[in-house]
């Protein structure tokens, strides 16, 4: 490691120098604590006697080499500051920690052979490929009969078949880096290089990722480069001074009661971007979703306080470096602001993310479906508004854990009306999501109609699948999800404006919409009725004389609806409609969506504009 670059914030592999490193039965321990008076090490290898570290070759570095060290051994540091106050700490660069409430770091044997060469060779950023992400909290997806967690390997064995059945080709884990409080869901970290020991060892996590790749499933990890936990054994006042955090209270504390990283410090930049590189390099993660990016763009996330220029600079430099080192890995921003060029390349003054969560789409769509039908004509364009700005960034459509906790209600529960009205609306809702441009993300449990808000201490309510209406919804979701994976028109070229066109977006009285998705010489037509009325032979103008195949109808009996698959409740007429030369006439039950695929298209030449309906 180039130490000068470490100080200037240009290092991405600080974990290769700092931390505990095994070699031939010995371990070299290195720690950065420039303002410490003394640093001591204790562990299994010393009988928990303290060993005083020596000043290293670089300023602020303390190091010690210990014999007879084995993988799995526990250790801690005691750091004495300039005022002779001593505090016990875990290793900031430690690669494993003991299970909470303990905080000792553990020595790790990093050797592991991946068998995912084919996956890694063919991997890319998925701009023109489908990306259907299942967001999961590892500790509460399922639990064992005794209430304990699955370990990483056991999780892989149960999870991978389910993902394939449900049409998910990516999984995103809530943060797996070590954290002291279960209730933080992993977002308040103390071990930025340590996979949480709740679910096993680093080697077991590598086996999970490896198994996913061998089954055609990508793995994304949530990463928190904005703030850290305030536990005194972590990064807080690490060497007796604010080494990682801001020194001033008005900027030091986040809204979550954690400490904000001071991104203007080179050592902090090197620490964070090395952590990001570590997960991508060591574990073969396919992407990193970076949490709370708005809190880096603006001071404490408040646009009124202005742009945090040094933090923005950090994001640009980190993303540029990660792209260079991992050209096929994805960097995803959770950002709710309208800050420009979040997904533009850094060479064009962008932040360099590959995708940005479309929080506006999520909020507008959910609010619309929460609205009573009588008011939906007035909110009609709330649902279509997303296409007014969609091409300003590369968006991902998220319906994440944040939308199903803290009194917000689950996705199904958010749907307007009583129990029997919620399911048809949820089917229409997800049809809109999956046929709208943008990559997809859905939190666990949403796919079978979870009613209870998510609780990190309880597994999902899988017993709901014993009820026919939930089972039917589950099968519908799997069909829709797999349809998305197999129809290129639903993903190829989705960031190209020529691949989407509204066919009907001016029918507020009917609360009905229609649009086309086009790509790879294929066309998909979607028609939705989001009112509580039945519309017979609703007319949609289409550009050519289409021969259609219906791919999915949310009201089919097999998915809990009232329409038989054999019923022909649509037709195409060679008659003009709303300035288009042909008409699709389609029956639309309340709260329904229908997906058609164009099998053949014939262009009919009209003699004059009147014949064409223009």
Quick one: average pLDDT of 360-370?
A: 97
The question of whether 291 is a catalytic residue gets the answer yes
The question of whether 549 is a catalytic residue gets the answer no
Cα of first residue to Cα of last residue in the chain, in angstroms, is: 69
**% of the chain exceeding 70 in pLDDT:** 98
Question: Could you tell me which of 555, 526, 535, 542 has the C-alpha nearest to residue 583?
Answer: 542
Flag whether pLDDT at 535 surpasses 80: yes
Flag whether pLDDT at 614 surpasses 60: no
pLDDT at 568: 81
pLDDT in tens, 240-286: 999 999 999 889 999 999 999 999 999 999 999 999 999 999 999 99
Whether 335 and 342 have beta carbons less than 8 Å apart is answered as yes
pLDDT in tens, 2-56: 999 999 999 999 999 999 999 988 999 999 999 999 999 999 999 999 999 999 8
β-strands 355-357, 522-529 pairing: unpaired
Confidence tier at 608 by pLDDT (50, 70, 90): low
Q: Which of 231, 334, 494, 587 is catalytic?
A: 334
Q: Which of 81, 135, 282, 291 is catalytic?
A: 291
pLDDT at 609: 54
pLDDT at 228: 96
Say if residue 463 is exposed, middle or buried (CB neighbours under 10 Å; 0-12, 13-18, 19+).
Answer: exposed
Q: Decide which of 2.60.40.1180, 1.20.59.20, 2.60.40.1120, 3.40.50.920 is the CATH code for 497-612.
A: 2.60.40.1180
Give the pTM.
0.95
Whether 452 and 445 have beta carbons less than 8 Å apart is answered as no
User: Which parts of 58-200 fold into alpha helices (H)?
Assistant: 117-122, 152-166
Q: What angle do CA 599, 601, 607 make, to 5 degrees?
A: 165
pLDDT at 566: 87
pLDDT in tens, 178-218: 999 999 999 999 999 999 999 999 999 999 999 999 999 99
Report d(CA 102, CA 110) in Å as an integer. Answer: 22
pLDDT at 193: 98
Whether 298 and 307 have beta carbons less than 8 Å apart is answered as yes
Please check whether the two domains, 3-106 and 497-612, share a CATH topology.
yes
List the chain domain ranges. Answer: 3-106, 497-612
Task: Say whether domain 3-106 belongs to CATH 2.60.40.10.
Answer: yes
């Amino acid at each position: 490691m180039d130490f000068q670059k470490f100080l200037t914030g240009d290092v991405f592999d600080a974990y290769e120098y700092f931390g505990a490193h095994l070699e031939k039965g010995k371990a070299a321990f290195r720690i950065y604590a420039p303002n410490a008076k003394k640093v001591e090490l204790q562990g299994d290898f010393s009988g928990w006697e303290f060993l005083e570290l020596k000043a290293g070759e670089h300023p602020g570095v303390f190091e010690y080499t210990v014999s007879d060290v084995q993988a799995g051994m526990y250790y801690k540091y005691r750091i004495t500051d300039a005022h002779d106050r001593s505090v016990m700490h875990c290793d900031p660069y430690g690669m494993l920690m003991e299970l909470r409430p303990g905080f000792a770091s553990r020595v790790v044997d990093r050797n592991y052979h991946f068998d995912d060469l084919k996956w890694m060779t063919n991997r890319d950023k998925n701009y023109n490929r489908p990306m259907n992400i299942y967001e999961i909290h590892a500790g509460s997806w399922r639990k064992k009969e005794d209430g304990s967690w699955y370990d990483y390997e056991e999780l892989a064995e149960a999870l991978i078949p389910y993902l394939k059945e449900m049409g998910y080709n990516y999984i995103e884990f809530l943060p797996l880096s070590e954290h002291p409080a279960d209730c933080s869901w992993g977002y308040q970290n103390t071990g930025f290089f340590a996979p949480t020991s709740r679910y096993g060892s680093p080697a077991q996590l590598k086996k999970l990722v490896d198994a996913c790749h061998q089954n055609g499933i990508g793995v994304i990890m949530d990463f928190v480069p904005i703030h850290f936990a305030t536990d005194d054994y972590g990064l807080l006042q690490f060497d007796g001074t604010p080494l990682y955090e801001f020194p001033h209270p008005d900027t030091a504390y986040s809204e979550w009661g954690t400490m904000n990283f001071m991104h203007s410090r080179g050592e902090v930049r090197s620490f964070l971007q090395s952590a990001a590189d570590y997960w991508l390099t060591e574990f073969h993660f396919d992407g990193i979703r970076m949490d709370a990016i708005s809190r880096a763009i603006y001071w404490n996330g408040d646009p009124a306080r202005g742009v945090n220029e040094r933090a923005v600079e950090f994001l640009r430099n980190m993303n540029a470096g990660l792209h260079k080192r991992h050209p096929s890995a994805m960097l995803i921003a959770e950002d709710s602001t309208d800050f420009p060029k979040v997904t533009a390349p850094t060479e064009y003054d962008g932040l360099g993310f590959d995708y940005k969560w479309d929080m506006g789409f999520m909020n507008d769509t959910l609010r619309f479906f929460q609205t009573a039908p009588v008011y939906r004509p007035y909110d009609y364009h709330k649902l279509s508004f997303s296409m007014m700005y969609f091409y300003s960034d590369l968006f991902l459509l998220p319906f994440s854990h944040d939308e199903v906790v803290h009194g917000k209600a689950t996705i199904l529960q958010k749907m307007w009306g009583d129990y029997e009205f919620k399911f048809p609306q949820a089917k229409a809702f997800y049809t809109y999501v999956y046929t709208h441009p943008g990559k997809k993300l859905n939190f666990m449990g949403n796919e079978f109609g979870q009613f209870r808000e998510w609780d990190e201490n309880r597994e999902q309510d899988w017993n709901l699948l014993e009820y026919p209406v939930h089972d039917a919804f589950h099968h519908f979701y799997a069909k829709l999800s797999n349809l998305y994976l197999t129809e290129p028109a639903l993903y190829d070229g989705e960031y190209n404006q020529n691949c989407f066109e509204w066919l009907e977006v001016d029918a507020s009285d009917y609360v009905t919409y229609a649009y086309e998705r086009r790509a790879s010489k294929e066309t998909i037509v979607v028609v939705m009725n989001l009112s509580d009325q039945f519309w017979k032979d609703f007319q949609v103008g289409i550009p050519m004389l289409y021969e259609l195949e219906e791919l999915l109808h949310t009201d089919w009996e097999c998915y809990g609806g009232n329409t038989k698959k054999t019923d022909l409740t649509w037709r195409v007429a060679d008659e003009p409609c709303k300035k288009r030369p042909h008409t699709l006439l389609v029956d639309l039950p309340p709260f329904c969506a229908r997906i058609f695929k164009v099998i053949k298209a014939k262009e009919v030449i009209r003699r004059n504009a009147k014949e064409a309906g223009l």
